[in-house]
Amino acid sequence: MKKTDRIVVAGAGGFIAGNLIKRLVGKGFTNIRAVDIKFIEQWYQTTDGVENVADCDLKEKDNCYRVCKGAVEVYNLAADMGGMGFIESHRAECMLSVLINTHMLMAARDVGKVERYFYASSACAYNTTLQTDAAVSALKESDAYPAMAEDGYGWEKLFSERMCRHFREDYGIQTRVARFHNVYGPFGTWDGGREKAPAAIWRKVLQAMDSGSGEIEIWGDGEQTRSFMYIDDCLKGVDMLTHGDFVDPLNIGSAELVSINQLVDYAEQIGKVKLKRKYNLGAPKGVRGRNSDNALIRKVFGWEPSTPLREGLAKTYAWITTQYETRKAGGKVVE
């Protein structure tokens, strides 16, 4: 690619895409079109020198054709999603995101000169019957079939993966698909209902310290397990996959498996506090265990996400703390 080639990033007001745009600008690309359905004031971050297209619903076909005109690369990270509390109670909304990828692929075929098309899928696409034990076997890419994805959000991701495959096979668009495993980091959601476990737990720790309650609510029994990938690792993986020759869906996630109770342990250590744990067994919990098998990404790229969770959490929690204190003082923050 030339540094002046047009790059379109969908979902630019979100966490991962916002950080991706900053990375692309840092690499010298000067023709980036950033697109999101949210008004610009609601974007998590913006970067100077970028064409920002706000209030643009990419579920609408005409909008996709308009923003993809002249694009050489497209990164589709646009989706209606959030943490487990959101996706379990907004299944229809999550599935409507299928319109975004469908119309973006059509636009890439018809009005762009797209050489590479990246699609952000999710570990929620994996067969849920393989995730019923906290001591879960790490999920390898072939475990998505036979299909039994997370209801709603996971099925939308799995279907959209197939769309990418067939647009590559039928129309020659070089599609690349990453299955993300719980990405976290600064400039991400930390309040409001769409936040994921690392951010939600730290917000609760801050609230407990602020109020003096000495208590934290944990969804489920805390023994459910996950892996969490720091944003810098995520972006490096996206770059490798988008510009490499591997064409099938690929895990991009950390293999460091922890329980939610262990995640709270880390938060307490960082906050230098010990809290009483109140378990809400009726809250959304998702699958019992999920982890990323990284054998294939090591084989293909000789690399895997490796930022230690404790290290990434410290950076993330420092940023959330600043946001929390700013909001408490009456300032404007991104939640």
Alpha helices in the chain (DSSP H): 15-26, 61-68, 84-87, 91-95, 98-110, 153-171, 197-211, 231-243, 260-271, 295-301, 309-328
Crossing angle (nearest 10°) for helices 309-328 and 260-271: 60
The residue among 28, 33, 30, 78 whose CA lies nearest residue 51 is 33
Assess whether 230 carries a catalytic annotation: no
Q: 3-class DSSP state for residue 74? A: strand
The residues, any chain, with a CB within 8 Å of residue 219's CB and separated by 6 or more, are 84, 85, 260, 280, 283, 284, 285
Crossing angle (nearest 10°) for helices 153-171 and 98-110: 10
Which residue among the candidates 44, 75, 117, 153 is catalytic per the annotation?
Answer: 153
Catalytic residues: 153
